[in-house]
Amino acid sequence: MPSHKHYNLSMLEDDVVLYSAGNTYQILNIKTGKKQIYFGTDSNGIGSVAVHPDKNYFAVAERGDWPNIYVYSYPDIKLYRIMRRNAEKAYSHIEFSNTGGYLASVANAPDYNLTVWDWKREQVILKCKAFSQEVYKASFSEYTDQQLITGGTGHIKFWKMAQTFTGLKLQGEAAKYGALEISDVFGFAELPDGKILSGTEQGNMILWEGVLVKAHLVLDVVKKTPLHGGTIEIIKFIDDEFMTAGADGYLKWWSLAVIEAAEADEVLEVAIAPLKEKLIFDHELQKPANLIHMAQCAAHWLFSDGNGKIWKIDRKSLDYKQVVAFHSGPIAELAIAPKLNAVFTCGKDGHVKLWDYVRDKEFLNQRFDGQATCMDIMPHFPSNLSRVVAVGYHSGVVRVLQANENELEILKSFKAHERELDENNKVVKQLKYLKFAPDGSIFVTVTDSGELFFFEISAMSDA
């Protein structure tokens, strides 16, 4: 499932955050705005990043054919250690143990390996297949390096590093949902007494005692009203309270004492009420944020948003502001503007952006309906000043846009092609390429089935 898991983040200092975006990992000082951008080594992007508890090291797990995990010293950013050949195509998640002695990694398809590393020696301590489907996260226990928890597609699993007759082994037990609906698991946390709290796709939480359900936590037992209006992505134990966040944009706080005392009776559902809550609303997109990762420091929290943003939230006032914005998925195409230090990008999230790549600043950002598949910029003329681009969408629509001072104005919009699917809903024809002629008088569109159309647009150039 979640391609959005690429947007994980960790704090290197109180005002310095490490996060991944595409084929880069970036270090941003949110106070000064200074950003350092580093490109991945193994070609297919960054799978996960993690910061060591003492903040002197960070790890970057990559994607590609047999990708590596690279550990760098901080703040000098020098390569310190490399862990090799324990993921066939990509890493989904990495995380240091609380003492910092171990590093856990989870491989993506096809192997789904869970590996515990002695990272300073670049050695594998233990390795086994974590599950038969996607594993999103692996975390060490807050209280011992000998226990781990993994969560993913349709499961949560509890692990121990156990001494057996044949040596040290990873022993894992999958939780048993019983009468409850099986759920993908993104967020989980450990109680001080060893019980585990996990979130569900339905917006509820499950309290586990061993591998069995102790209670199914909801807002209302009769109506089975969920705690959140969507998947719970984040569960954190902070100052004797649990904080949850997720797809509905809400942060909610819950009493540890109430959760510890939750005990199912005739039904598994137990009602709990939030101590307080806060909605993170994206006024630009006019919808709640999709909160998927969290990093914390003394004065504030940072949340990565599945819509392509990072939010800073003050711990006391709960005021929030956007600190980073990027595409919330693959960038379909980019077009460099002649005569300007600027580049247009379009993505499958529907956004078209204009960037100043010298100042590393976003000038314009506008979302249009549909998934962008291609883009080209009109040749430079005094009448367009490298400000006109054509953007093609998976639906076959083409929009010709002009970058003005405060917006991307639609000059023309029309349907160039019909999108076609086969009986299995697989795309057999959609708009894939478009290209302007050198004199700017026409442009051509091409589908992936080889269909070409030519369009006259001479009114927008000096030709």
Q: What is the pLDDT of residue 1?
A: 36
Higher pLDDT, 166 or 455: 455
Q: Read off the pLDDT of residues 104-138 as tens digits, 9 standing for 90 and up.
A: 999 999 999 999 999 999 999 999 999 999 999 99
Residue 76 confidence (pLDDT) above 60:
yes
Three-state DSSP at 59 gives strand
10 Å Cβ neighbour count for 154? 16
Q: Any bridge partners for residue 11, and if so which?
A: 17
Return the higher-pLDDT residue of 208 and 284.
Answer: 208
pLDDT at res. 3? 40
Q: What number is the average pLDDT over the span 295-300? A: 89
Helix, coil or strand: residue 458: helix
CATH architecture of 331-460: 7 Propeller (2.130)
Read off the pLDDT band of 7 (50, 70, 90). Answer: low
List the single range of 54-68, 246-260, 281-295 with lowest mean pLDDT.
281-295
- Is the per-residue pLDDT at 103 higher than 70? yes
Tell me the mean pLDDT in the region 374-380: 92
Q: What pLDDT, on a 0 to 100 scale, did the predictor assign at position 463?
A: 36
Average pLDDT rounded to a whole number, residues 268-297? 93
pLDDT of 396 over the 70 cut? yes
Residue 278, token pair as written in the block: 């806060």
Would you say the CATH fold of 331-460 matches that of 3-325?
yes
For position 265, what pLDDT does the model report?
82
Confidence of residue 100 (pLDDT cuts 50, 70, 90): very high
Rg (CA), the chain: 24
The string of DSSP letters for 348-409 reads TTSEEEEEETTTTEEEEEEE-SS-EEEEEEPPP-TTTTT-EEEEEETTSEEEEEEE-SS-EE
- For the domain with range 3-325, which CATH number is right: 2.30.30.60, 2.102.10.10, 2.130.10.10, 3.40.50.10330? 2.130.10.10
Q: What is the pLDDT of residue 461?
A: 45
347: Cβ–Cβ under 8 A, 6 or more apart, which residues? Answer: 327, 328, 329, 330, 331, 332, 372
pLDDT of residue 224: 87
> What mean pLDDT do residues 287-296 have?
93
In the 8-state DSSP scheme, what is residue 259? Answer: H
Q: 148 pLDDT exceeds 90?
A: yes
Domain boundaries, the chain: 3-325, 331-460
Confidence band for 42, pLDDT divided at 50, 70 and 90 = confident
pLDDT above 60 (res 333): yes
Does position 2 have pLDDT exceeding 80, yes or no? no
Q: Residue 458 — pLDDT band, cuts 50, 70, 90? A: low
Q: Which residue has the tokens 């060893």?
A: 194
> Within 13 Å and on the Cβ side, how many CA atoms surround 392?
27
Rounded to whole angstroms, the Cα distance separating 259 from 28 reads: 36
Residue 182: what pLDDT? 95
190 in helix, strand or coil? strand
Residue 5 has pLDDT above 80, yes or no: no
In 10 A of CB 262, how many CB atoms? 18
